[in-house]
Amino acid sequence: DSLKALKEKEKELSAPEPKPEPTTEVLFLCSYEGCRKTFIDAGALRKHSHIHGERQFVCHYEGCVKVLKASKLKRHFLIHTGERDFVCPHEGCGK
């Protein structure tokens, strides 16, 4: 009996495992040039797309090293033209 039981158990262990069913999950691919990221839902892709958003611009005034978004650049120029000549009230700051 024990030999018969061992042989049956051995057959059960050697039985092929069932293959997993293929997934029908839709992946969303970022269409930005050079970006090959994929996302499982449209919301995640939309959130990711913000990193490819507005380009960065460098202030062209001499000595200024600011890098800004286009929407902030115009306001930043006011500092250089004197229209926004705010000075830090703390002694020795100079900004």
pLDDT in tens, 10-26: 766 665 666 766 666 77
* Helix (H) / strand (E) containing 72: helix 70-81
pLDDT at 82: 72
Residue 86: is its pLDDT beyond 70?
no
Tens-place pLDDT, residues 31-61: 888 888 888 888 888 888 877 776 667 788 8
Give me the pLDDT at residue 31, please.
84
Q: Are 49 and 28 in contact (CB under 8 A)?
A: no
Could you report the per-residue pLDDT of 60-75, keeping only the tens digit for each? 888 887 777 777 777 8
CA pair distance 13, 24, nearest whole angstrom: 30
Closest CA to 35 of 57, 21, 58, 53: 53
Among 72, 50, 77, which residue's Cα sits nearest to residue 61? 77
pLDDT category at 84 given cuts 50, 70, 90 is: low
As a whole number of angstroms, the distance between CA 79 and CA 35 comes to 36
The pLDDT of residue 85: 63
